[in-house]
Amino acid sequence: MWNNTAKVASIGDLVQLVGMRHKSYIFNIVEDKELHTHRGVIKHNDLIGLPFGSVVLSHNESPFFLLQPSLSDILLDLKRITQILYPKDIGYILLKMGIGEGQRVVEAGTGSGGMTIALAYAVGKTGKIASYDQKKEFQNLAKKNLSLVGLEERVEFKIRNIEEGFDETEVDALFLDVMNPYDYIPQVKASIKPGGFFGCLVPTTNQVSRLLHQLRLNQFAFLEVVEVLLRFYKPEPERLRPTDRMVAHTGFLIFGRPLLSELDLDNDNGK
């Protein structure tokens, strides 16, 4: 369980050990278990009761820092059998779609559950996520990933091709990460409350164009297409410069708002 307000590590906690070269291990503390790393063995029992931020030594005296993983650490470490959404995109999506405490949110596809974890975290204890995927094996992994962080109770998993539509209506927000989102826009519109939020990620520009056509046809307004570029720097104060490599492309993000009005607000010909 991810208890990110705890001060000391306890049995069952999801913790992170970071070695000197930043190699990191994220795992639940289990009594009498051992973590085997290329820099030696660490007994889980030695972590119990230790304050976060402490240094622990492996059996061959290699140091590791005991930390609570951030949501970003957890997502990047997740077991996956599908492509997952990256923290850089998820962060913007959550803010852009106003995801917060108590909301009802729908997503498809579940995939490995990366986005599901972030949504479940953002809606808090009183919110609810309905997550759709047509493949059972993907949802099985997503369920495991959700229970790793203790957020599975906030999610209702549904196996379905979303062509058949969503059970939920009047939801606050709906996010799609499927190959052909443009084929499901009437179904999406029937599920989101008027004025709610729609968001989507697709990897290619031709998918973006097809999606924009469909969103306009279905009276989605305030359309936005955006790409989030994230560049890391080497943290050397006297030689500050970008790292040599970067993830240059993950996907394009498309947002829109379903309105009751049928005015074309994105195409006013300059009036």
Ligand X SMILES: C[S@@+](CC[C@H](N)C(=O)[O-])C[C@H]1O[C@@H](n2cnc3c(N)ncnc32)[C@H](O)[C@@H]1O
**Considering the rule CB under 6 A, would residue 217 count as an interface residue with ligand X?**
no
Q: Footprint of ligand X on residues 153-192 (CB under 6 A)?
A: 161-163, 177-179
CB of 57 to ligand X, least distance (A): 36
**Considering the rule CB under 6 A, would residue 140 count as an interface residue with ligand X?**
no
Nearest residue (CB) to ligand X, 162 versus 221: 162
Sole window of 43-51, 93-101, 106-114, 219-227 interacting with ligand X (rule: CB under 6 A): 106-114
CB of 178 to ligand X, least distance (A): 4
Q: Which of 47, 106, 115, 122 binds ligand X (CB under 6 A)?
A: 115
The amino acid occupying position 2 is W
Q: Which of 82, 140, 187, 218 binds ligand X (CB under 6 A)?
A: 82
**Considering the rule CB under 6 A, would residue 208 count as an interface residue with ligand X?**
no
Residues that bind ligand X (CB under 6 A): 82-85, 108-109, 111-115, 132-135, 138, 161-163, 177-179
